[in-house]
Chain A
Amino acid sequence: MPRKVQNPPEFVPTDKCIAMDLKKMDTDSLNRMLLDRIQELERKGLVDHNFRQCYLLKEISSLTFFLDLIVVFLDDVHTVVRAMAKTLTQPVVNYDEMYSHHIKLKGSSSCIGACRIKDACFKIRHAIESNSKDGCLQVLNVVHNEYKSLHEQFDGVIKIERELVSRGTRQAS
């Protein structure tokens, strides 16, 4: 049963809300809150429709799918960014290596819908094609910042999702 996306949010989620004890909320509210969060992220332009699609895939796959996906994604991005930074600190930059890193980053981010990181990937590609180390570093910095802000935003989502997962597993057991 898909969530009723079209319903207008009954309350605007704030950090305060997130800070609230999620455990006290009922599952429906939590779900609604999560959707609102996603909508908020979309509205801010941090993610695109693919993110919601990933969320909807939870229905078919598994309870932890969405949670896993976000965690793996953040982890992936972290790894790739570090790998890129490392590549760029080499005295002679291996742009082929940079290219494969960027493809990986682009794949992950476009898949989950992290559109800003995906957009930054175009810039990385451009910098790589023009063999510009400075350009790469600059864009990498952008990616890093995007990652940080996305991380903050996803944290809220993860909290809610964790709560939902734990409830789901409890129910199953």
Chain B
Amino acid sequence: METEEHESEEMDIVLSSMWPEDINEAGRQFNVEKPSADQDMLEEVTINKEPNIVDFKRLMELTNYSDKGNWQLANLIKNWEYKQANAVRLLKEEIDNLSKQQQEVELKKLEILEEHRFERDVYSGDKRPISILDENLKYLYQSAPRVKKDLIFEKKKVEIDAEYDSVVYWKQRGEHLEKLLEASLQRERVLLEKLQESIANLETQSSPVEELSQVLTRADNFLHFVLQNAPVVIGHQDKELRYRFIFNHFPSLGEEDIIGKTDVEIFSGAGVKESQDFKKEVLEKGLPAKREITFETELFGSKTFLIYVEPVFSKTGETIGVNYMGMEITDQVRKREKMAKIREEMAVQKAKETELTKTIHITEESMRAKQMLATMSHEIRSPLSGVVSMAEILSTTRLDKEQRQLLGVMLSSGDLVLQLINDILDLSKVESGVMKLEATKFRPREVVKHVLQTAAASLQKLLVLEGHIADDVPVEVIGDVLRIRQILTNLVSNAIKFTHEGKVGINLYIVRDPGTIIKQDSLSHSQDQSNASDKNAMPTLFKKYMQVGADTARKYGGTGLGLAICKQLVELMGGHLTVSSTEKQGSTFTFVLPHKLSTISDSSEELSDTDHQDILNDENDDDLSSGVFVFQPRTLGSLFSSQGSGRIQKLPPDSHGFQCSNGQTEDLSSLSPCSNVTYQETVSEEDLNGETSHSPQTCSDNNLNSDESCRFQPCDETSQTSVETHVVVTYDNRDRTNGSSECISSNKSPEIPKTEAKPKILLVDDNKINVMVAKSMMKQLGHDMDVVHNGAEAVRAVQSNGYHLVLMDVCMPVMDGLEATRLIRSFEETGNWDEAVKAGVEITDSPFSHSCPNSHLNEPRKRIPIVAMTANALSESADECYANGMDSFVSKPVTFQNLRQCLQQYLP
């Protein structure tokens, strides 16, 4: 039995490739999932149609000649042989079984006979034979006879009513046994008949061809079942790539349209040729391959197929055609492409993000670095200003010549470092957007003149400084004069630094922009500068800390911040700074700034640059229109006077001292201060100080020589002394009093004591320490201050006294500095103290303008410079100060440095 089962298992394995037979037309309607909507290709396919088109002749050929066909046939035959063998075996077994039964029957017969002879009937032949025909292979051999049931023996005991061992008994028993025997014989006959029948059946049932065709049909059915909705095309093409078989649900083409034709003959459009070539390739190479081909045909539009082509070989190994299978994957391709696109986008996005993060990181870093630099600079500035202030205080004491000289160097170096730190702070201010510009009326001519004058004053080279202002440049414009000055000064000092001979000049002209409706004129300042940088240095020119060459810094010094600041300032003001340069010829830095036109200038109105107009006469108007300033080399206020005088001797003998147009006297005085070096040189001639008042006289005598332009020409040797003396005086005055207005007055009327013109300063602070220190420092700087302790008092003080400058603490009891400033500004705008009264400040009746003795303070509602002083150094508090009308911002502690700056800025 076991072996039988094993065998049957083996058979199962062998037969596993067989299709179940119960697949028929109805089987096709199995509940196969409908293809999704996107498989549109098959939408209209009807299953009823027999889609496969077969060239039978070819199939025969194939099965005859191709390896594959052979193999398939062999397989089928083998299969059939197995089945036959199996059937034979089964039959044999059946026969055995039957014969066994027969034997048993015989035996029984004998037993019965024996029983007749012996006492007891011991029949025990109840053995149920098992046929392998049942169960396992039932489906194959349904017609096999069911023998078993018939074979069951009845286990009947012979029952005889008659008395044992009587004749009747034996007779009855004999009859009974006879019947049994008959029945048994009957059964045997039936069995034999069935056996015959079965054998006949077997013979008729299985011929190889039938088997084969059965299998093929099943395979075909199954294929149809599986493929009925699949978007596939299966085909076979011969050597010439003519279709011999095609399975396709595509309904538009009939058999005759396809069989015997090539792809190219059937379709036209993109991809057809490619697929044809691909098939050829496979045919030639003899290796199966896959490829994705996108078709663009009239027949079925744009579709992408994944095509698998495998070559078919003949027995001799030649390729005789290709099997071809295509699957439509248009949607997948579309999805895939979309996916790829999305992935690509994501990658790009990611890259961008990382880039951005990097940039942010870098920006943060640089911001931090800048902040750090600014903080550092600020931190350095305070102690440094301490050093410089101390040195300055020291210089006021009695020192011998050598000490003074050393101190002079110390001061100038200190100033240099301070300048550098201020530059850095300026730069970071501009970059962080904290820098505030103010709009004030100013006279461009004067700015140019002053810049050149200042430059000329400290000039240590034989250079001519020129200023040309076009006639149409308005007398007054509105802008941030301080910053413009800073830019010009920076550019000019750069120019002087890098120019060895020739001239340095400022040209000022208007660039009119017809597009703008607003009255906005652009002033363009341009400046010539010999030498300077060569072309390849251009890109780095405006970069911070960049200098033309490594040796530049050594040769000329400087930090390389100047141009960067200029550029930033110009841009902040809405203009742009450009440079053009020719090596050995010079460079021109041009900047264009938009300016608002000032309303027609009132000659009596005061301007920051011309405080002294009231002193001047009507000739002052000449200055307003003069367009050319030339400053030629003059006595050099040099540390090494021998060098200076050596140069002077080279000058033409007919050169004159300062030649100024009328009205330039006061400028001369304000121009004259040379570097601290001059001071040092001249203090040694202290005894001259007494005679200083005469020197302006000399100067003004000379003034008459020129009338059109402001010309500063080298002095001749005779006038030199007086000029030098004059310089000394001016400088000395400046240093002590911090106001050039006094110098002017001394020029005009030297007899008037200087103290009379002392500006009035008000300090508003509740902090006693601050008041004490500030007052003491102010005293040192030559000024007295009034002090009040809160904003309300400040308002009252301003109301009753005219002040030239108010130093205002921000944080104060009763009324803070911001409100006080607001009230003062409100008065300046409206001319009344209503706001102050509203705020609860008691106002006395006398407005300050009447009480002010000084003529140029009598201007009613003149804007008083108010400088905030606060311990809160943060920028937002600076913003607050500016927003409330304060002009400037000084952070505590008060130092000589910031006091002096204030005084210089607001008390010219």
Instruction: Identify the interface centre among A57, A104, A111: most chain B CB within 10 Å of its CB.
Output: A111
Which residue of the partner chain, among B389, B769, B779, B870, contacts A111 with CB atoms under 8 Å?
B769
**Are B892 and A57 touching (Cβ within 8 A)?**
no
| A32 interfacial contact with B, CB 8 Å | no
Q: Are B773 and A72 in contact (CB under 8 A)?
A: no
In the complex, whether A82 has a CB less than 8 A from a CB of chain B is no
Is A7's CB within 8 Å of the partner chain B? no
Query: B773 and A57: CB pair below 8 A?
Result: yes
Known: A2-B397, A53-B390. A69 touches B870 (CB 8 A): no
Stretch from A60-68, A138-146, A149-157, A158-166 at the B interface: A60-68
A interface, over-half SS: helix
Near A by CB (< 8 A), chain B positions 780-815 give: 780, 809-811, 813
Residues of B within 8 A of A60 (CB): 776, 779-780
Determine the interface band of chain A, counting residues with CB < 8 A from chain B: 20 to 34
Instruction: Give complex CA distance A113, B892 in Å.
Output: 11
Measured CB to CB, the nearest residue on chain A to B811 is A103
User: Any chain B CB within 8 A of the CB of A37?
Assistant: no
Contact B383 A2 (CB under 8 A): no
Per-position 1/0 for B542-557, Cβ under 8 A of A: 0000000000000000
**Interface contact B393-A56, CB-CB below 8 Å:** yes
Q: When the two chains form their complex, are residues A104 and B767 in contact, meaning their CB atoms are under 8 A apart? A: yes
**Bound complex: CA of A65 vs CA of B774, how far in Å?**
12
Alpha-carbon distance between A57 and B770 when the two chains are bound, in angstroms: 13
Given A56-B393, A104-B811, A107-B871, residue A69 in contact with residue B893 (CB < 8 A): no
Are B772 and A110 touching (Cβ within 8 A)?
no
Q: Which interface residue of A53, A54, A57, A107 has the most chain B CB atoms within 10 A?
A: A107
Separation of A106 and B870 alpha carbons in the complex (Å): 9
Which of B775, B779, B871 counts the most chain A CB atoms within 10 A? B871
* CB nearest to B896 among chain A residues: A53
Report yes or no: A65 in contact with B893, Cβ–Cβ below 8 A: no
Assuming the contacts A1-B398, A49-B383, A49-B386, asked whether A108 and B870 have C-beta atoms less than 8 A apart, the reply is no
CB distance from A129 to the nearest CB of B (A): 11
A57 CB → nearest B CB, Å:
4
Q: With A2-B393, A103-B872 known to touch, is A61 a contact of B769 (CB < 8 Å)?
A: no
**Are the C-beta atoms of A48 and B383 separated by less than 8 Å?**
yes
Task: Give the shortest distance, in Å, between B378 (CB) and chain A (any CB).
Answer: 13
> From residue B328, how far is it (CB to closest CB) to chain A in Å?
68
Contact status B769-A73, CB under 8 Å: yes
Nearest A residue to B773, CB-CB: A111
A69 to B777, CA, bound (A): 14
Flag if A49 contacts B892 (CB, 8 Å): no
CA distance A108 to B772 in the complex (A): 10
Distance in angstroms between the alpha carbons of A16 and B776 in the assembled complex = 34
**A57 CA to B781 CA, complexed, in Å:** 11
For residue B156, CB closer than 8 A to chain A, the reply is: no
Q: B770's contact among A48, A100, A108, by CB below 8 Å, is which? A: A108
Q: How far is the CB of B689 from chain A (nearest CB, A)?
A: 21
Taking the complex as formed, is A112 at the interface, i.e. its CB lies under 8 A from any CB of chain B?
yes
A111 CB contacts on chain B under 8 angstroms: 767, 769-770, 773, 892-894
Residues in chain A near residue B777, CB distance under 8 A: 57
B768 at the interface (CB under 8 A from A): yes
Please measure, in the bound complex, the distance between the C-alpha atom of A46 and the C-alpha atom of B553, giving whole angstroms: 39
Pair A107/B776 contact, Cβ less than 8 Å: no
Shortest distance from the beta carbon of A84 to any chain B beta carbon, whole Å: 15
Taking a contact as CB atoms under 8 Å apart, the answer to whether B769 and A76 are in contact is yes
Nearest chain A residue, comparing its CB with the CB of B394: A2
Minimum C-beta distance from A7 to chain B (A): 14
Residue from the set B397, B773, B811, B893 with the largest chain A CB neighbour count within 10 Å: B893
User: Of B383, B387, B769, B870, which is within 8 A of A103 by CB?
Assistant: B870
Q: From residue 252 to 277 of chain B, which have CB atoms closer than 8 A to chain A? A: none
Shortest Cβ distance from B874 into A: residue: A125
Q: What residues on A are CB-neighbors of B632 within 8 Å?
A: none
- Cα A69 to Cα B775 with chains together (Å): 12
Q: List 13 A-B contacts (CB under 8 A).
A: A52-B386, A56-B393, A57-B777, A61-B776, A73-B769, A76-B768, A104-B766, A104-B811, A107-B767, A107-B811, A108-B767, A111-B770, A112-B773
Pairs of residues from A and B, 10 with the lowest C-beta to C-beta distance, nearest first: A49-B386, A106-B871, A107-B871, A61-B776, A57-B776, A103-B811, A110-B893, A111-B893, A108-B769, A107-B767
Interface of B toward A, CB cutoff 8 Å: 383, 386-387, 389-390, 393-394, 397-398, 765-770, 772-773, 775-777, 779-780, 809-811, 813, 870-872, 892-896
